[in-house]
Structure 1
């Protein structure tokens, strides 16, 4: 099990830096890796689950909005926490950094003493190694020998040679696609039909299989189990020796990175991975977000099984904290079918081994041209990001659901957006803060019901007379009738922008005054 931020902060190098947690829950935030960087655009380079160490050099001289955007990008990438060393670039932690990290629920830590970041990374690697070894008995001869080879740095070939000697049969390591990565020097691989196969698992899921070419016996099974762990440790020390991703995963990785832009190239890669979109049909792209405690790569098999039960043959791969699904879809005009399929997928996933680890499913608009698939992949992930930013509680979100929020996010900078919200909703926000009323929530519900007073009163659980009084007060504060078409449009946009700025859903705020 991966450690939490609290456990990482107890490591000697981190403890020596005098850490102080300012925001977030360090007891539940899980750390996959510790990384240091001063790059401002670091959010786009993370895979999720990192504790990022920085002196703030990349933030020095940035505007308040740029500091806010920096944290937003880290949170969107699934960063477990940000540790800022104060005293170099910043004497105190910028207010925008604290405010945005708190709003996004991200752990923010200050480091008040200077300790080389490399020592912190080394301490974290040692922690992972100790955890990996903790379930093994040190006195066990087979494990002791294999572990000794790893710790002395003798390499993968030495581990396989020793495994072959202990198992009295040839041994080879193959990647997830069945390609040989390394084999022992023991001859006779071709002549052995019986095999003992054990999965090799890395930090992010399966990385290959260890194949013992000999009849399965208790001795060989024991060697295979221990050798698989020793090989995983060796691959963790030297990632370049590790397995290459599956063909499906490689396609997803390249789509997310935006390097597959040619329709011909994409079609060839999809065919090689065993997935071809039926002629004349659309491609549906969905992103399944999983809890940070569950590596997305480990969720791929369960997502693939559920997706293919609902959508037929799919191409599935991990990207950050999401699992991307490419499937046969429907025309954009068939929005209800798209939503229904996404809801069926989530129902199956929640009833399966992933259970509560499934958070949100985001679906892009179906595309009819393979050249548009990369953009659809980006859109499906963006749908989840935007739903988090507006405080949405919906388990299934489509591109149509957040279309206005996407338009606002791309068309206005932070200052313009704030000015627009204040101009439209400022009097209601101020009145609610001063008097404990629910005018903003009432306006949001009234617009959502199409200005139906009966349905608005029912959704808020109040009498119609109370609603009439609230609407009268709203119109008095705004200085214009809510029913005015132009005003209704502006108010709807302002509420969407308010959600983006605050990360709150007005309907999720508990009722206060009934006036």
Structure 2
């Protein structure tokens, strides 16, 4: 910080002169330089911002004219060495100095002015050197980030690290797309962010924020904000403006209007899954600041599309993944829900969804959403089939994000099952049959199924296989099976005995029934188109 008039007077070398303050105006103003003068008119020697050191002789015979000349030249004030405790200045000079907005201090004992100037000028030069070094550091940091095409989060982190203050990047909808807390609590910083930001259109405001627009004039796409009061306003402004320029350059290079928001949402999900964010309040605050509506339960949702053999171009696959992400986000929002979205695997979109249940329960809302997704995703080039899987809803955002793994497994299994009747799938919908559909191409699973059913498969006994399937589906209830097949019990018993003899197993044994049921699931999965 710059040396102020008050700090100069408080220096030990000045205190040795037993200073008496007659006028404390400009007391907190920074001193640009100290000037020692013994002539009656210094107006032509000053540039403004100086504190003058002089003697009573320097005031001359017209002290009023002397003070007026200092005020006209822009000086901050004067320190007068009287040379004796009994010497006094007329009280009228103190009044005049106050009127002229000048500091007036008298020293009742002699001091070495050169000692004062040496201390103060050393501090002034050091301060100027610090400013130059700070400017150079800021320039080098953001220039390097721009050259390396650093991520938006890296630019925001750099600004926060330099200022040692939290920094938030928001879009025009006042959603926080990048946050660097710099030691503060993210949940506290982002509490009710959208409303607080809308109440602060410019720097200052009720919360004393510092901010700058991001983007070319007339094409601004966001704001960079320090959401806490800052003591060094010029430095904060300079860093924000330099970071804003780096962000604007990043945006020009990327040329992706939705990229920043999607990167921020993907970054939040990755931070939670990788353990970089463990605080539930911080994750919730970031998610809500990115547009996720508050709810009592959050649903992990995974949408997966069928891959085609023709997908060999990685750029085409990437473009399709972006289109899928856009389509899923648009469909969720159009259905009246909110969410944060990411695409971490080819052909798959993960989402944390806050379901609006104003028109019914969550099951009805999810059913409607699943149907919309199936219809809308068919419009994406190259998509022929898609499934929507929903994990266990959670009250905590972090738990719901971790539930994306469960939803992803369900989506993978559901896609293999080729059941297009359900608008969405839960874990209870896939269970063991879904697992067998997923593992149907595994040679070990195929060998198991072939071994279990080989006697019936070798003689192409499709009718016996159907009877066995119905028998196992009814958990061995022969009376119910006879009724379903519309045959007599003796005829059914004879047929089951023949199947049992061919397979050489006990059809009443629980383990045998389980093994045969699994083998039939594998067979059914492989026979589906």
Assess same fold via TM > 0.5.
no
The answer to which structure, 1 or 2, has the higher relative contact order (CA under 8 A, 6+ apart) is 1
TM bin (shorter chain): 0.3 to 0.5
Point out the structure with max Rg over C-alpha. Answer: 2
